[in-house]
Amino acid sequence: MEEDIKKLLEYVEPAPQNLIVMSGRGSKLHTKFNPPLEYNHSNVGYELCLIRLETYFSFPNIDSSNNSLRVSLNGTWYDIKIPTGCYDIVSINTVLQKQLLKLSGEKKIEQHVVIAANKNTLRCVLEIKDNTTVVDFNVDNSLRTVLGFKAKQYKKSGVYESEDLVNILSVNTILVHCDIIEGSCVNGSLAPVIYNFFPDVSPGEKIVSQPLHLIYIPLTMDVIPSMSCWLTDQTGREINLRGEELTLTFHVRKKKH
């Protein structure tokens, strides 16, 4: 009886709760607590949830790993590199035209090759305007992985549709990791993931993500001297926020039974 009363008091007695805010530039955050956070006041245990994430939709879909192609105009080859950024197919074509104009030294815009989207088939359309133009996707860090073309050269005038579907955005979801929690899994493997989401805003705009339903995950320790958090995509690759500010807000509470 006495033991039961003791356990009941543990559940109902006031217990420490914390609002933890972490902020910094980039997708990896680390903070040290001075003094360390202590949650060893009862045998009940504590749990953590993320209640708010703020940053900007700055992560690129084109970077140095997938931004290259070569174009031959009248026998002269030009190396095209799309600058790191957030693009759709229309904007990729715009950059392509500007670079070809600059590199070739032509005085007026003459579209020898055009890249467009087929929204019905979800494939990319490559139009070559004349028989002296060649487009080569068989290069390192090729743009073909985004547009869906094979690693080969496309020659002669005509319209070519990509063999594969366009993969304009490789990030399907953003996972928020936290090193002081346990009990989460990603694709069947244990991973310290506390939240996942995808932005509901356009590239360049402010992201404010707040879970509709708070999910609390058990803490792995009673005394917390430091805490690290980081963002990845669904494959575990780090999200490149390109130096933009990231703010994460967490809540700690006693476990409810």
Tell me how far apart the alpha carbons of residues 51 and 191 are, in angstroms, rounded to a whole number.
19
Percent of the chain with pLDDT over 70: 90
Tell me how far apart the alpha carbons of residues 113 and 93 are, in angstroms, rounded to a whole number.
9
Tell me how far apart the alpha carbons of residues 230 and 234 are, in angstroms, rounded to a whole number.
13
Written as one string, the DSSP assignment of the chain is: -HHHHHHHHHHHS----EEEEEEEESSEEEEEEEEEEE--SSSS-EEEEEEEEEEES---SBSTTS-EEEEEETTEEEEEEPPSB---HHHHHHHHHHHHHHHHT-SS---SEEEEEETTTTEEEEEE-STTEEEE--STTBTHHHHT--SSEEESSEEEE-SS---S-----EEEEETTB---EETTEE--EEEEE--SS-TTSEEEE--SS---EEBS-SEEEEEEEEEE-TTSPBP--TT-EEEEEEEEEEPP-
Count of all residues that appear for the chain in the document: 257
Residue 10: pLDDT over 50: no
Tell me how far apart the alpha carbons of residues 187 and 179 are, in angstroms, rounded to a whole number.
18
User: What does the pLDDT read at residue 16?
Assistant: 56
User: What does the pLDDT read at residue 8?
Assistant: 44
Q: Kindly report the pTM of this predicted structure.
A: 0.84
CATH of domain 15-59+171-254: 2.60.120
pLDDT band at 21 (very low <50, low <70, confident <90, very high): very high
Which tens digit of pLDDT belongs to each residue from 207-222? 999 999 999 999 999 8
Nearest alpha carbon to residue 120 among 181, 165, 157, 53 = 165
Q: Parse the chain into domains and list their residue ranges.
A: 15-59+171-254, 68-161
Tell me how far apart the alpha carbons of residues 199 and 55 are, in angstroms, rounded to a whole number.
10
The mean pLDDT value for 196-213 works out to 94
Residue 256: pLDDT over 80: no
Q: Residue 113 in contact with residue 133, Cβ under 8 Å?
A: yes
Which tens digit of pLDDT belongs to each residue from 75-116? 999 999 999 999 999 999 999 999 999 998 876 667 899 999
The mean pLDDT value for 214-239 works out to 94
